[in-house]
A and B are shown apart, each in its own frame.
Chain A
Amino acid sequence: MDLLTFVLWYLSIPTVAIFVGGMVYKVMRYALMARILVPKPEFRWREIAIRKGSFWDIGFWHWIKELIAVFLRPIIWSLRVNVLDFVGGLLMLHILGVILILFLVGTHVGIWFNYVPYLKLGIIDLTPLILLIEKIWFFLCLAVKYSTKVVALSPWSIIVIAGNAYVLALCVLAAIAYKFVDHLIKVKRGIINIRPGDFAALLLLLAVVLTGFLTAFSPITTPIPVQRLLLGLHVLFGEIFFMTLPFTKFSHFLFGYWYGKIHELYDAYAKRGV
């Protein structure tokens, strides 16, 4: 049994179990620690809504506007005061890198479809959404094809996707390097909140991306055992990433970020009317 067989057939179930257990533990703690029985202050948004119109006409749109604002504010702020971080941290790492690679690179999409056939979750059918994303992705592929002269046989072929993934993977690698250096500079400056765990998390991400990159772009002549080893390592690091996700800072994209923003909407806007 080689590494690939082990990680695919023996480690995947424990990985999912640990991940689910971790997430349940995490979310339950938040639910159990909520102080719901204490008296509540008078909420300011009601006042604003009453002054500006009823909840369903103007008040409702205020909520929607504020909901968007809590997500946009840090992005705009980062663009305003730290363009380098905006490009390195948000654009290259999060949007170009992680989101596109994780969810839109052909092989990954294949995996998601494999786990969730047609991405149908119970009564909710996500197929139209996926089709829409595919279309957007299709035009992106075209754009990349003609702008970077990536060799492609047809617009929606694996080669185009691989070509794009190549560019995207380089983006993530550059962004990880940027984050690493940025953290080092902060430590040197005496900023105390950067922990060894932050570097470990970046190294793990680097391991996942690098092995994935090598797997996808190793020459066709690479011996099969080496290819299987590379892919095995990629899946192994991915599984470690997934297993530890509830306990690392990466959980922000599944939980912390969303909880934080919704809490901010409640605390700053609904309660205080900021």
Chain B
Amino acid sequence: MMRAESKNLEKAFWRLSKYIESNTIHYVENCISCGICYEICPAYHLDHKYAPAPIGEWFRRFYRRQLNPIARVLGKLAHAYPLTIENLMKAREYVYRCTNCGACYMVCAAGIDSGHLALLTKSLINDAGLTPQVLKTLNEMELKMTYLTSKVQDLYGKLIEEIKKIAGGEAHINEPDRSVYIPISVCDLVFAKDVIISTIRILEKLGITWTIPDVPVGIRPPMGYVIGDFTSYAALIRRIYLNAKELNCRIILVTDCGYMYPALRFEGPYIAEIEQPCKILSIVELLEDYAERGLLHLRKIADVATWHDPCMLMRRGGVEYPHAILEESTFFTKLKWSGKYSRCCGGGSHMFFLQEEVAKALSEVLEVDLVKMLEKDTFARKIAEFGYEMAKHRAQEIIENGPKIVITACTSCIFMLRKAISESTMPFIEVKHLAEFVAKNML
């Protein structure tokens, strides 16, 4: 029984080996255990056991056992661990505490991305059936498109009506040859409807033509990125790329940061093995570019504002804070930990979906009982709590800066920070998406 189980898990490792390339070998082999990366990791701040090198260590352990003959003979002495359910359960405790924020990569002495190793380990965990049920369900629904429930369609219909109101009666659904394609997701519908409305308002004002899909493109694609399911990850990338290609648009505009932006822009071609159909831009880049060129003007507000860098936008996406917009239109103050050294909001990767409120809101529209799944899953709840502790930590750093408004560009950052700030000593600090801010203050 044990042998059969181990054989199956080993097969999972071989399936994954397609994604084991030279940089993966580097991440596996060249950690010198110097500990420089520890301090920057949000998980380490909460529990010193969970630092980047130990988080990456689990993949190294499995790799050594599978691919390093000397380590295989030496066994645990060389930290070569067999792929068993028991070991994967232990690994889960580590890698699910990583939000894949990429901070460790920025300061690692040897250029090691421990978040990437965590993602590969999650893939093995997923193949062993140990992924929290909530995440597994969301991933499956996204892949099979069963998320298109009547409630989702209803909500999308309402959004289209609102869009028509601000766009001269047209919703430009699947209209070819437009400049910008906005891949709207279920999470946009539920958590960031105003962001979509604001984006369209801005595009209209700037005279940029746009189009939207006839149905949401996913729940928050690619969900496979969150749990290390590379099949579904690749499928979702293809889905969005092909939509954009058919429509012959010039730009895929990502309004949510999440992981969608780096996944589409930088990882997509590698994962899905398909060419990018067009340019992929974050709304932050697009607006900043217009502001820099003097094509976007905002009124100056009398508030002290700050920018929270979404990890996936800054460290995994290279998008810096929109200084031309923020420095012109607010009394801007930079957070102590910002840019490359910014801290995660605690909602990165899977963390967002494990929050009870998120599960509840998604349950309502997706017509599945995610809350019940979460209730039954003590591991998932423990991880959700861990993520929320990170959010409180980040909220405290923001509070110390004393802004009136925090501007950012990611659904999970907004959700986590709003929650943590509302329960802090400064609950009146507003957290807003850049698109909402610009739409409100555009001249």
Interface residues of A (CB under 8 A from B): 29-31, 33-35, 38-42, 44, 70, 73-74, 77-78, 81-82, 85, 89, 182-183, 186, 189-198, 247, 249, 251-252, 256-257, 259-261, 263-264, 267-268, 271-274
- Closest chain B residue to A191, Cβ basis: B54
On whether A41 and B340 interact (CB within 8 A), knowing A192-B57, A252-B110, the answer reads no
Q: Across the interface, which residues of B come within 8 angstroms of A274, CB to CB? A: 106, 314-315, 317-318, 340
- Residues on A with C-beta less than 8 A from B77 are 196
A38 to B276, CA, bound (A): 12
Bound-state Cα–Cα, A191 to B32, Å = 14
> What residues on A are CB-neighbors of B314 within 8 Å?
274
Chain B residues in 8 Å Cβ range of A70: 111
- Which chain B residues border A40 with CB–CB below 8 Å? 269
Inter-chain CA distance A70–B24, complex, in Å, is 19
Contact check, A261 vs B111: say whether CB atoms are below 8 A apart.
yes
Contact call B105/A264, Cβ cutoff below 8 A: yes
Q: Is B169 at the interface (CB under 8 A from chain A)?
A: no
Chain B nearest CB, measured from A92 CB (Å) = 14
Selected interface stretch from B2-10, B148-156, B260-268, B324-332: B260-268
Q: A74-B108, A274-B340 are in contact. Are A30 and B26 (CB under 8 A)?
A: yes
The CA-CA distance from A20 to B316 in the complex, in Å, is: 37
Number of interface residues of B (CB under 8 A): 59
B112 on the interface (CB 8 Å rule)?
Answer: yes
On whether the beta carbons of B273 and A39 are closer than 8 Å, the reply is: yes
CB distance from B63 to the nearest CB of A (A): 12
Contact status A193-B53, CB under 8 Å: yes
Instruction: Check B110 against A256 for contact (C-beta < 8 Å).
Output: yes
Q: B29 at interface (Cβ–Cβ under 8 A)?
A: yes
Tell me, in angstroms, the Cα distance from A251 to B275 when the chains sit together: 37
Interface residues of B in 70-111 (CB under 8 A from A): 70, 77-79, 94, 105-111
**Do A194 and B33 form a contact, CB below 8 Å, given A38-B269, A39-B273?**
yes
Complex Cα–Cα for A196 and B110 (A): 21
**Which residues 24-60 of B sit at the A interface, judged by CB distance below 8 A?**
24-26, 29-36, 39-40, 48-49, 51, 53-54, 56-57, 60
Residue contact A38 to B273, C-beta cutoff 8 Å: yes
Q: Is the CB of B318 within 8 A of A272?
A: yes
Q: Is the CB of A263 within 8 A of B26?
A: yes
Q: Does B146 contact A (CB under 8 A)?
A: no
CB-contact partner of A82 in B36, B49, B53, under 8 A: B36
What 17 new A-B contacts, CB under 8 Å, besides A34-B21, A39-B276, A41-B276?
A: A29-B22, A33-B21, A38-B270, A41-B266, A41-B267, A41-B268, A77-B40, A78-B109, A191-B49, A193-B56, A252-B110, A256-B110, A257-B30, A257-B109, A259-B111, A274-B106, A274-B317
Nearest CB of B to A59, in Å: 15
In the complex the two chains form, is A85's CB within 8 Å of B35's CB?
yes
- Nearest CB on A from B127, distance (A): 21
Which residues does chain B contribute within 8 Å of A38, judged by CB atoms?
Answer: 269-270, 273
Complex Cα spacing A263 to B317, Å: 16
Closest residue of chain A to B61, judged by CB?
A: A192
CB distance from B342 to the nearest CB of A (A): 12
Q: Please tell me if B279 contacts chain A, counting CB pairs below 8 Å.
A: yes
CB distance from B372 to the nearest CB of A (A): 34
Partner of A252, one of B30, B40, B53: B30
* Contact of B274 (CB < 8 Å), options: A30, A39, A194, A261: A39
Q: Knowing A70-B111, A189-B48, A195-B79 are in contact, say whether A89-B34 is a contact too (CB < 8 A).
A: yes
Residue of B nearest to A265 (CB): B111
| A251: chain B residues within 8 A (beta carbon) | 30
Chain A residue contacts of B56, Cβ below 8 A: 193
A260 in contact with B266 given A89-B34, A183-B33, A194-B33 (CB within 8 Å) = no
**B contact residues around A29 at 8 Å (CB):** 22, 25
- Are A257 and B78 in contact, with the CB atoms below 8 A? no
- Given A30-B26, A33-B25, A260-B112, are A193 and B315 also a contact pair (CB < 8 Å)? no
| Chain A residues near B51 (CB-CB < 8 A) | 191
In Å, the complex CA distance between A183 and B274 comes to 45
Residues of B within 8 A of A261 (CB): 110-111
Shortest beta-carbon distance, B318 to chain A, in Å?
3
B110 nearest CB across to chain A (Å)? 4
Most buried by A among B20, B24, B33, B262: B33
16 pairs, CB–CB < 8 Å, chain A vs chain B:
A34-B22, A39-B269, A74-B107, A77-B39, A77-B107, A82-B36, A85-B34, A192-B49, A193-B54, A196-B77, A197-B78, A256-B30, A264-B111, A268-B106, A268-B318, A271-B266
Supposing A31-B22, A38-B269, A40-B269 touch, asked if A85 and B36 sit within 8 A by C-beta, the answer is yes
Is the CB–CB distance between A41 and B39 below 8 Å? no
Task: Say how far B294's CB is from chain A's closest CB, in angstroms.
Answer: 15
Q: Could you say which of B21, B30, B60, B94 contacts A35, with CB atoms under 8 Å apart?
A: B21
